[in-house]
Copies of this chain bind each other. A is one copy, B any other.
Amino acid sequence: MPDRYAYLGPEGTFTEAALRTLRPDVPDTARIPCEGVAAVFDAVRSGEVAGGVVPLENSVEGGVTSTIAELINGEPLVISGEIAVPVEFALFARPGTTLADVKTVATHPHALAQCRGWLGRHLPDAETTTVSSTAAAARSVAEPGTPYDAAICAVIAGERYGLHALATGVGDRADAATRFIYLSRPGRPSEPTGTDLTSVVAFIADDHPGALIEVLTQFAVRGVNLTRLESRPTGDGLGSYCFCIDAEGHVADARVGEALMGLRRVCRDVRFLGSYPRSGRATEVDPPLRPRPATEADYAASERWLARIRSGGID
């Protein structure tokens, strides 16, 4: 039996699209949809599948809470690949339905948040319901006796469930994207490719601001750039955070190795999440907007701004 690969289902999710791109060699029958992110992790952990794909972060909504929770707290898996997929939402309905007929729309909460503007303009009176995924919304709309008139979902989901598109490009941000990761059981990292990322979770020993500066300095002092820094609660009460960090380079690189050792010495704990080839997504399209040095006028401006906010004005 060939290797099988899990993904966040049902069929037709953006995650399925990500798995297809990351592993074009996998035959259709070897892609296994799972219900919920935790189920994908568990399938990989148990050895039931050789690998799995889940969303990690979205350019509009931020980190995917359940994925990060599994990476941080669950039995360790490592990231061995990543890909960023543009997120294009469409409104799908059963054949015969027109836009004017749509009174109820189902979709995933994140998708709903990203399509609020379009809905407000085109379906101001429609009732919206959130379900577990955009593909689930599409599937539900296709079911007999469904309470929903239309679904906001990916094109592949709408097509898979025999719906037809009432509108495409209904997201408020044309450039929205989601980043997916490929999970494996721990093992020797793949060889460095020259453009790798290394992911870790740092549990700082002390929540004072100096502690985070100390953590960031471990990277900066060795010239290692970070591409993601995301705070997450550790679950141990309000005000207790850990930091999910993606750094440029591979654990086999001298500078990354030294930075990780330093990180481990200053942190309460560090969980290594893998080194893997960086996705070919367009990075640094725009040159970074370096702050020009502040001038005497900037000092005066910042003083006026302070006076304004101190007296209740709008900045």
State the copy count for this chain. 4
Are A302 and B264 neighbours in the complex by a CB distance under 8 Å?
A: yes
Interface of A is mostly: mixed
Subset of 7 A-B contacts with CB under 8 Å: A60-B235, A62-B65, A176-B235, A186-B313, A206-B290, A210-B220, A265-B291
**A212 and B205 form a contact (CB under 8 A):** no
Q: A206-B288, A252-B310, A306-B260 are in contact. Are A299 and B237 (CB under 8 A)?
A: no
The 8 A CB mask of A224-246 against B (1 = contact, 0 = none) is 11111111110111111100000
Q: Which residues of B contact A291 (CB under 8 A)?
A: 205-206, 265-268
Of the residues B209, B257, B283, contact of A226 by C-beta under 8 Å: B209
Contact A177 B237, CB 8 Å, known A290-B206, A294-B223: yes
> How far, in whole Å, are A116 and B63 apart by their CA atoms in the complex?
20
Least CB distance, A237 to chain B, in whole angstroms: 5
* Chain B residue at minimum C-beta to C-beta distance from A231: B230
Whether the pair A61, B57 counts as a contact (CB closer than 8 A) is: no
Given A57-B238, A209-B226, A268-B289: A294 touches B62 (CB 8 Å cut-off): no
User: Which residues from B are CB-within-8-Å of A313?
Assistant: 186
Check if B216 sits within 8 Å of A264, measured CB to CB: no
- Most chain B beta-carbon contacts within 10 A, residue among A177, A238, A264: A238
**What is the interface residue range for chain A against chain B?**
35 or more
When distances are taken between beta carbons in the complex, the residues of chain B under 8 Å from A164 are: none
Q: Say yes or no: A58 contacts B306, CB within 8 Å.
A: no
Is A209 within 8 A of B205, CB to CB?
no
Please tell me if the beta carbons of A266 and B251 are within 8 angstroms of each other in the complex.
no
Alpha-carbon distance between A258 and B300 when the two chains are bound, in angstroms: 12
Within 8 Å of chain B (Cβ to Cβ): is A66? yes
Pick the contact of A264 from B207, B233, B305 — CB < 8 Å? B305
Which 5 interchain pairs have the tightest Cβ spacing? A188-B312, A254-B299, A261-B302, A205-B291, A206-B288
Residues of B within 8 A of A28 (CB): none
Query: What chain B residues lie within 8 Å of A116 (beta carbons)?
Result: 38
| A132 contacts partner chain B, Cβ-Cβ < 8 Å | yes
The distance in angstroms between the C-alpha atoms of A228 and B261, with both chains bound, is 26
A234 to chain B, nearest CB (A): 9
Q: Of B233, B255, B272, which is within 8 A of A61 by CB? A: B233
Q: Is the CB of A261 within 8 A of B303?
A: yes
In the complex, whether A111 has a CB less than 8 A from a CB of chain B is no
